[in-house]
């Protein structure tokens, strides 16, 4: 290589200037660009969430009028689902970590990788220009026929979501080929870190499900522009077909969000327990079990949409099967911690938060998967609470665990552990204070997406709003200490956590080409020496 100073040259400093970033094909830099863009969108989506919660602090009009409220919860949902939670782990953390875990110099198609970033950016810009036009008020699900008729700038938001889909598809394609073709010598399939397995399964789901959403949104755009009538009952079309198509994507999308988070937890727990993972094969298989079941349960979103009773029965039964592979994973993680030398640090705090929150999310899913209770709970706050436990508790907690875990690798510096623990605790408590009352509200019959509610729901709504402020505060704290750590945190060593997978064998931050010499793998990713046996 050109430089003799090992350790001095890294991916952050080997080239300087904005142009070197905008035209980079280095997966690590692209990962960083994704990270900061997605987190910026997280801020925007979060502000909308807080505004929605503030409006619901009291009965009657509180801070905004009804139509604005409809737009705010739609932006919150659309931004969080399509622009934050789906790309967060694969595009930001996955892009950075995955090729290094494989011992590769880059992803298989680096220029395509950069292109996906710009596709993402264009999708975000197209969707968000509507903030300055007529807005959008359909909810993130774009249900027909309302989404055909509403006079807001819905077309552009749908177009934005359509474009964002391709960004995900191409990232997935890149990951699949990279995992197949770019593994280092000795990195056999049974030595792959579980995050790689999770990324692999996620990518498959993403490749197979997203195109269906794409064609659905494409048809919806034409429905709005030229009245093709496919989803429009007035013209002989079928609005329920839209729901089928939409959930054929959007249920698997839940696993596009959750599987990578599970992958992160499978890395964080063994490393910070310094113990080999319990049930490596079981977790890898369960990952694919979940990916498979993901495709055959979408009808559980439509129990009250006029599905046949037989379909309801079958979808209900199949949905219950999700619990099996998920349970296998949860028990394996707990088994890994058992008798381990557990460190209580931020990655571990968030991993435990994941276990706690995601398990509640999963268990409340059973109420929704059961047709009889579902009829009562459909479109209530119970559903809102459930999917926030799954999506926020799953993906966001997983992301925070992974972000802290790989932070030293990404920036070559350590964050402040006690600040991280305080913020993490605030986020965890705030999360439960926000969303647990919503289970009760929903069970009592408070409908979701309504601007107003009955006076008896006010107390729990106030608790929920206070909780949302705690989450907000927790993330503001996180942003402060993380930015501080990036600038002036103490230097991190190559392997601060004593991890065994390949990313810990290179310098922190890594060399532009990841490794000075081609690494050769001789052991599994979790070969820790067992303590006390």
Partner 1 sequence: MAIVASERKHSEHFNSAEHEFVSSKQGMWLFLLQEVLFFAGLFVAYGIFRALNPEMFHAASQMLDVKMGALNTVVLICSSLTMAFAVRSAQTNQTKKTTMYLIVTFLLASVFLVVKYFEYSHKFHVGLLPGQYFTNTELTDPKSGLFFSLYFMMTGVHGLHIILGMLVILWLVRRSSRNEFGSNYYTPVELFGLYWHFVDLIWIYLFPLLYLID
Binding site for partner 1 (CB under 8 A): 104-106, 108-110, 112, 169, 173-174, 176-177, 180-182, 207-212, 214-216, 218-219, 222, 226-230, 232, 235-238, 241, 245, 513
Residue 425 binds which of Cu ion, partner 1, none (CB < 5-8 A, kind-dependent)? none
- Which element (helix H / strand E) includes 217? helix 194-226
Residue 251 binds which of Cu ion, partner 1, none (CB < 5-8 A, kind-dependent)? Cu ion
Provide the 3-class DSSP secondary structure of residue 99.
helix
251 near Cu ion, judged by CB under 5 A? yes
| Secondary structure string (H, E, C) spanning 268-301 | HHHHHHCCCCCCHHHHHHHHHHHHHHHCCCHHHH
Task: Specify the residue, 172 or 396, whose C-beta has the smaller distance to partner 1.
Answer: 172
Task: Specify the residue, 31 or 472, whose C-beta has the smaller distance to partner 1.
Answer: 31
Residue 226 binds which of Cu ion, partner 1, none (CB < 5-8 A, kind-dependent)? partner 1
Residue 459 binds which of Cu ion, partner 1, none (CB < 5-8 A, kind-dependent)? none
Question: By CB under 5 A, which span of 195-203, 246-254, 283-291, 395-403 interacts with Cu ion?
Answer: 246-254
Residue 180 binds which of partner 1, Cu ion, none (CB < 5-8 A, kind-dependent)? partner 1
* CA–centroid distance for 325 within its chain: 19
Q: For the CB of residue 100, give the shortest distance to partner 1 in the complex, in Å.
A: 12
Task: Specify the residue, 48 or 298, whose C-beta has the smaller distance to Cu ion.
Answer: 298
Radius of gyration of the chain (CA): 23
Task: Specify the residue, 387 or 453, whose C-beta has the smaller distance to Cu ion.
Answer: 387
Residue 237 binds which of partner 1, Cu ion, none (CB < 5-8 A, kind-dependent)? partner 1
| Dist. CA 218–CA 62, nearest whole Å | 37
| Dist. CA 41–CA 83, nearest whole Å | 7
Judged by CB under 5 A, how many residues of this single chain contact Cu ion?
A: 1
- Residue 456 exposed, middle or buried by CB count within 10 Å (0-12, 13-18, 19+): exposed
Q: For the CB of residue 237, give the shortest distance to partner 1 in the complex, in Å.
A: 6
244 near Cu ion, judged by CB under 5 A? no
Do 138 and 150 form a contact (C-beta atoms < 8 A)?
yes
Q: For the CB of residue 147, give the shortest distance to partner 1 in the complex, in Å.
A: 16
Q: Is the dihedral of CA 320, 139, 470, 438 positive or negative?
A: negative
Taking residue 7's Cβ as centre, other Cβ atoms within 10 Å add up to 11
Task: Specify the residue, 302 or 353, whose C-beta has the smaller distance to Cu ion.
Answer: 302
Task: Specify the residue, 109 or 477, whose C-beta has the smaller distance to partner 1.
Answer: 109
Task: Specify the residue, 207 or 414, whose C-beta has the smaller distance to partner 1.
Answer: 207
| Dist. CA 41–CA 502, nearest whole Å | 31
413 near Cu ion, judged by CB under 5 A? no
Task: Specify the residue, 166 or 406, whose C-beta has the smaller distance to partner 1.
Answer: 166
- Residue 394 exposed, middle or buried by CB count within 10 Å (0-12, 13-18, 19+): buried
| Dist. CA 52–CA 31, nearest whole Å | 31
Residue 61 binds which of Cu ion, partner 1, none (CB < 5-8 A, kind-dependent)? none
Q: For the CB of residue 286, give the shortest distance to Cu ion in the complex, in Å.
A: 18
Q: Tell me the two tokens of residue 390.
A: 């799954």
Q: How many helices (H) and strands (E) does the chain have?
A: 19, 0
Residue ranges binding Cu ion (CB under 5 A): 251
């Amino acid at each position: 290589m050109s430089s003799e100073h090992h350790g001095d040259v890294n991916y952050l400093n080997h080239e300087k200037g904005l142009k070197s970033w905008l035209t980079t094909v280095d997966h690590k830099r692209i990962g960083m660009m994704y990270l900061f863009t997605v987190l910026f969108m997280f801020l925007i989506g979060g502000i909308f969430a807080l505004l929605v919660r503030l409006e619901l602090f009291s009965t009657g009009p509180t801070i905004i009028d009804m139509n604005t409220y409809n737009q705010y919860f739609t932006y919150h949902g659309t931004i969080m689902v399509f622009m934050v939670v789906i790309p967060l782990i694969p595009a930001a953390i996955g892009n950075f970590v995955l090729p290094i875990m494989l011992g590769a110099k880059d992803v298989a198609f680096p220029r395509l990788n950069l292109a996906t970033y710009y596709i993402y950016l264009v999708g975000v810009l197209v969707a968000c220009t509507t903030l300055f036009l007529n807005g959008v008020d359909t909810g993130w699900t774009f249900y027909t026929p309302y989404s055909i008729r509403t006079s807001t700038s819905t077309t552009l938001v749908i177009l934005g979501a359509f474009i964002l889909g391709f960004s995900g598809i191409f990232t997935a394609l890149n990951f699949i080929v990279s995992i197949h073709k770019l593994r280092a010598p000795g990195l056999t399939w049974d030595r792959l870190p579980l995050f790689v397995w999770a990324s692999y399964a996620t990518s498959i789901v993403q490749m197979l499900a997203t195109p269906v959403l794409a064609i659905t949104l494409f048809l919806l755009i034409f429905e709005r522009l030229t009245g093709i009538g496919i989803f429009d009952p007035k013209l002989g079309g079928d609005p329920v077909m839209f729901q089928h198509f939409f959930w054929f994507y959007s249920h698997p999308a839940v696993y596009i969000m959750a599987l990578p988070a599970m992958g992160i937890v499978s890395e964080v727990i063994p490393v910070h327990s310094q113990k080999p993972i319990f049930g490596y094969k079981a977790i890898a298989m369960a990952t694919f079990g979940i990916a498979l079941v993901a495709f055959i349960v979408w009808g559980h979103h439509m129990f009250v949409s006029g599905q046949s009773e037989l379909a309801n029965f079958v979808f209900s039964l199949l949905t219950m099967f999700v619990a099996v592979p998920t349970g296998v994973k949860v028990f394996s993680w707990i088994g890994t911690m058992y008798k381990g030398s557990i460190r209580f640090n931020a990655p571990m705090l968030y991993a435990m938060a994941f276990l706690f929150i995601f398990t509640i999310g999963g268990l409340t899913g059973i109420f929704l998967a059961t047709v009889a209770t579902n009829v009562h709970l459909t479109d209530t706050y119970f559903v809102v609470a459930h999917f926030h436990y799954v999506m926020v508790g799953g993906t966001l907690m997983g992301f925070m665990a992974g972000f802290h875990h790989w932070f030293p690798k990404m920036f070559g510096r350590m964050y402040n552990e006690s600040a991280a623990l305080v913020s993490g605790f605030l986020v965890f408590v705030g999360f439960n204070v926000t969303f647990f009352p919503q289970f009760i509200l929903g069970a009592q019959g408070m409908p979701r997406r309504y601007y107003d509610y009955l006076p008896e729901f006010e107390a729990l709504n106030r608790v929920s709003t206070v909780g949302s402020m705690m989450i907000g505060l927790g993330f503001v704290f996180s942003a402060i200490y993380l930015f501080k750590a990036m600038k002036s945190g103490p230097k991190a060593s190559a392997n601060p956590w004593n991890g065994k997978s390949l990313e810990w064998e290179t310098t922190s931050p890594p060399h532009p080409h990841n490794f000075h010499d081609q690494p050769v793998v001789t052991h599994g990713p979790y070969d820790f020496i067992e303590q006390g046996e």
